[in-house]
Structure 1
Amino acid sequence: MAITKIITGRQGAMKTHGSLRNCIRYVSRPDKVKDHYIAMTGPAPEVLTEDSVYRSFLAEKKMWEKDSGRMYRHTVLSFHRDEPITPETAFEIGKVWAEEAYPGFQTLVSVHQDKEHTHIHLVTNSVSYIDGLKLSQSKADLYKMRNLTDRLCKEHNLSITRKGHHFDGREIERGEIHSYNKDAYNLIAHNPGKSYLVSCAQTAMASLEGCTSREEYCTRMQEQGWTVNWSDKRKYITYQDQDGHKVRDRKINKTFNLDVGKEGLSHEFERNCELQRAEQRVEDAELERYYERLEAEEFDQEAGRDYSGSSERDQRSEKSKTATIIRNSDAAEQSAESERQDREAERIRQDFERQRAAEEAERKAKARSRDRSERSR
């Protein structure tokens, strides 16, 4: 499984010649790139060094007079540490990925093996060597890149990312930590008491238990020290604690597989309402059966047969009669419900037939109108 990550850097950090050279220097370091697993797409110098690649990038920029603004794009393809991938396979994937993801742009590709997991660095010139256009990317392009990564992994018999699942195929449990940010994961996993993100997720899970409305949910969160900023004018929900820490719903969803956004919460409210209605129906049915048994016992007592003092055989007989009454009552209820459903289905069918007849009449009327118009011409 490979994770595709675009390195954005600090604001303005990728707009200088110095940042471009530093990135190329890091990606091409000999202690990280072993066995010469380094290549470049597009116009490339004969020998790939930090200086030759840097000068090649600048030459394209100056030729097209685009030597300002963003200098490069830095992408990392990172494989899981347990993925059985060789440096050769990673190198082939990196070269194909660069050609397909950034066609017409020089891209330096290098495989790093200095950590427990193999990863590929790609540094792409922001100016096309074909037409001089600057590199631009949309959210749709990022999705295409992820799909490209999965496709290449599949072609080389490697695992692919599956939403809601771990690397080994296990399904991510609701509330389970699965942050792809290593620092965030370590903080949360090893120091959960110090993370306001964990506190927010735990409070949200507790508040959702049996909750049936937006108002009830917000009140429960407020009682636990979390303000829920839920506005119909905003796409996301923001949670804020008493210390001013803010957490967006997307962050909780990505880190804990817990959907506390508008749509997810609304579905949970509906589910809880349905569960409560189902529980109420069961309670009502049990209560009704209880009263039926009481009525049966009272009837027996009035007939001179005390249920509590009767013989064991009489008790079994009375229990059998009571059970028969209950079964007959249930059967009658089911029959009535079946008849009601049949009537409803017949009503829907008749409504559909009337609607279809009306549409057919309207269609014929329009056809006659067109015929009259054509004859009048």
Structure 2
Amino acid sequence: MFVTATFVAIPEKTQTATAMKRVLDYVMQDKKTMFYDRENDRSYKLVSGQNCIPKAAFNEFLATKHRFNKAKGVFFKQYVQSFKPDCGATPQQIHQIGLETAKAFEEFEVVVATHIDRDHWHNHFVVNSVNSETGLKIQINEKGLEELRNRSDQICQQFGLEVLTPYQKPKQRSMNQREYRTAIRGDSKKLRLMNAIDMAVVHSQSKEKFIENMKRLGYGVKWIDRYKYITYTTPDGQRKKENQPNHKNIA
């Protein structure tokens, strides 16, 4: 059984007001978040705000920072909750799962944007680094990220989606600055590969099972033990190299 959703932190080394605005603008693009409901003959923009109004989020984030004299250092955090294709949920349900997950960032201003422009639907969470009530900066370490992943799994279960029980921690993989900027420009192939690896690792007890699981997700795998990197062939035929999974479940 594959876990329905993965939850990862997206790094952004450039922490400025300009960078924060760029990310907010990116995640709220109409071409990525607009959903047409044929049954009700109406369109929805799958963007919501927790403790903020999405269109005014940039100014509200800044206002909170200035109110507590913390308009410096880390400006924002971003997380992505990705769902496997054909997970059985509608775009509205995916968005609602995102809103429920965002409640973990209690008293923080959060923009939740659901991207459905590709078959790999996912929620973006852009979180103001300053708590709107206490003025404290956000602090989420590896344990906190694991708790967020647990919460994500629990919410998926509440919506009737399959998850791995009991929870097993997936390997966290992060993009470097160049790769993240590529994703910001709209090329999410790297993110999809990372999430596929995460899902396969969680459910693989051996090298052979990992390769089988990756194949089920549409990826070819060339894994030679004496090589540092594994070569993956993506569904569109491109080849990408990644470090071998460092996971206790994989021999």
Give the TM-score, by structure 1 length. 0.46
Q: Does 1:112 align with 2:115?
A: yes
Task: Report the counterpart of residue 61 of structure 1 in structure 2.
Answer: 65
Return the match for 2:83 from 62, 76, 79: 79
Trace 1:4-83 onto structure 2 (pairs within 5 A). 4-9=7-12, 12-13=13-14, 15-34=15-34, 35-42=44-51, 44-45=52-53, 48-49=54-55, 52-83=56-87
| 2:250 pairs with 1:258 | yes
**Partner residue, 1:321:** none
* Structure-2 residue corresponding to 1:89: 93
Q: Say which structure is richer in strand.
A: 2
Counterparts of 2:119 and 2:86, CA distance in 1: 9
Structure possessing the higher radius of gyration over alpha carbons:
1
1:146 aligns with 2:141: no
Percent identity of equivalent pairs: 24
Are the equivalent residues in 2 in contact too, given 1:79–1:119 (CA < 8 A)? yes
CA RMSD in angstroms, aligned pairs only: 3.2
Q: Can you give the 5+ residue segments of structure 2 that lack an aligned partner in the other structure?
A: 35-43, 171-195, 231-242
Deviation at 1:3, TM superposition (A): 0.1
Between the aligned partners of 1:75 and 1:38, the Cα distance in structure 2 is 15
Alignment of 1:102-181 (within 5 A): 102-161=105-164, 163=168, 172-176=204-208, 178=210
User: Which secondary structure does the structure 1 equivalent of 2:130 belong to?
Assistant: coil
User: How far apart are 1:196 and its partner, in Å?
Assistant: 2.3
Residues 36 and 164 of structure 1, relative CA distance in 2, 3 Å threshold: closer
Q: Note closer, same or farther for the CA distance 1:173–1:129 as it changes in structure 2 (3 Å cut).
A: closer
Structure number with the higher helix fraction is 1
Displacement of 1:118 in angstroms is 1.4
SS at match of 2:132: coil
Q: Which amino acid aligns with 2:78?
A: H
Kept after mapping to 2: 8 A contact 1:2/1:161: no
SS at match of 1:108: strand
User: Where do 1:346-361 residues align within 5 Å?
Assistant: none
Q: What is the number of residues matched between the two proteins?
A: 193
Higher relative contact order (CA 8 A, sep 6+): 2
**CA apart distance, 1:178:** 4.0
Q: Distance in 2 between matches of 1:139 and 1:194?
A: 29
Structure 1 segments of 4+ aligned residues over 2 angstroms from their partners: 161-168, 170-173, 176-179, 188-199, 251-254, 256-259
* AA at the equivalent of 1:138: N
Letter matched to residue 60 of structure 1: T
Contact 2:5–2:82 (CA under 8 A) maintained in structure 1: yes
**1:198 shift after superposition:** 5.5
| Alignment partners' CA distance in 1, 2:29 and 2:113 | 9
Query: What is the distance in 1 between the residues matched to 2:145 and 2:224?
Result: 35
Matches within 5 A, 1:320-331: none
Is the partner of 1:133 in helix, strand or coil? Answer: coil
For structure 1, which runs of at least 5 residues remain unmatched after alignment? 200-246, 260-377
State the secondary structure of the residue aligned to 1:159: coil
| In 2: Cα distance, 1:156 partner to 1:69 partner | 37
1:197 CA displacement = 3.0
Q: What's the secondary structure of 2:6's corresponding residue?
A: strand
SS of equivalent residue, structure 1 residue 104: coil
The 1:110/1:252 distance shift into structure 2, 3 A limit, reads closer
TM-score by length of 2: 0.68
Residue type of the alignment partner of 1:196? Y
Residue aligned with 2:30, SS: coil
Query: Contact (CA 8 Å) 2:203, 2:210: kept in 1 or not?
Result: no
1:26 and 1:68 map into 2 onto residues whose CA distance is: 22
Could you list the per-position Cα deviations for residues 265-309 of structure 1 after superposition, in whole angstroms to 9, with x for gaps in the alignment?
xxxxxxxxxxxxxxxxxxxxxxxxxxxxxxxxxxxxxxxxxxxxx
- Report the CA distance between 1:17 and its aligned residue: 1.1
